[in-house]
Amino acid sequence: MTGPRILAVCGSLRTGSFNRKLLDLAVAHARALGADVDVVDLKEPGLPVYDGDVEAQGLPAPVQALRERLGKAQGLLIASPEYNSSIPGGLKNAIDWVSRPPSGLFKDKWTAMMGTTPGPFGTARMQPHLRQVLSAVGALVLPTQVHLARAAEAFTPEGKLKDEARMKEVDALVSALVSRLKS
Ligand code: FNR
């Protein structure tokens, strides 16, 4: 018997992303709890920018592939930076593509949100926007989330969080997601 299937997504495409480090910690905890986690690197599918003319000719293969991966998942785990106080374009573009044509792929999927920034806000301005968008496509976003400020000082060279209390917050969020998916 396998554990709940989770699609994990990082909103940053760059190598060395702090959000990818945060996501990796969350994924490790989810796997330790028995979840089957598929990690999407948004750089890898090579998604085009959403264009209704392209959609009218049939969904591009990278979009189909991402849709299939989301279709197999029961829940979502997202770690994303904040760009200009909102959702990075690459992540929003991926959500827009997967929501087309309206297909219910996000519907009733429990989702955990996290984010980290080098500055003091830890994606506090982005996350309400992401919550709104995810709700619009039918996902169920957990009421708690993780905001990690001062990302450049937060991680050890091995990629762990220096502050044990913050690590517990990440683990608690992931545990809440996994227990929702098991119930
Ligand atoms: C940023 N950054 C940023 N940070 C922040 O706290 N609030 C913001 O509104 C923005 N806006 C913003 C816009 C754009 C276009 C970029 C490229 C960056 C800085 C951002 O938090 C920083 O680059 C993070 O390190 C990005 O996350 P990753 O890539 O480390 O995961």
- List per-residue pLDDT tens for the chain, 183 residues long: 579 999 999 999 999 999 999 999 999 999 999 999 999 999 987 899 999 999 999 999 999 999 999 999 999 999 999 999 999 999 999 999 999 988 799 999 999 999 999 999 999 999 999 999 999 999 999 999 999 999 999 999 999 999 999 999 999 999 999 999 987
Amino acid 44: pLDDT: 86
Between the CA of 75 and the centroid of ligand 1 the distance, in Å, is 26
Closest atom of ligand 1 to 122 CA is 6
Between the CA of 116 and the centroid of ligand 1 the distance, in Å, is 9
Closest atom of ligand 1 to 10 CA is 31
Rounded to 10°, the helix 89-98/61-72 angle is: 80
Amino acid at 17: S
- The Cα 183–Cα 168 span in angstroms is 22
- The Cα 73–Cα 109 span in angstroms is 8
CA angle 41, 140, 13 (to 5 degrees): 15
Task: Output the ligand 1 site: residues, CB below 6 A.
Answer: 12, 14, 17-19, 81-85, 117-119, 121
Cβ-contact 177, 6 below 8 angstroms: yes
Q: Where are the alpha helices (DSSP H) in 33-155?
A: 52-56, 61-72, 89-98, 126-136, 151-154
Instruction: Give the pairing of strands 36-41 and 5-10.
Output: parallel
- What is the pTM assigned to this prediction? 0.97
List all residues 6 or more positions away from 70 whose beta carbon is below 8 Å from its beta carbon. 7, 76, 98, 105, 106
- The Cα 72–Cα 38 span in angstroms is 10
Which residue lies with its CA nearest to atom 17 of ligand 1? 83
Closest CA to 114 of 43, 30, 4, 3: 30
Amino acid 1: pLDDT: 53
Cβ-contact 47, 62 below 8 angstroms: yes
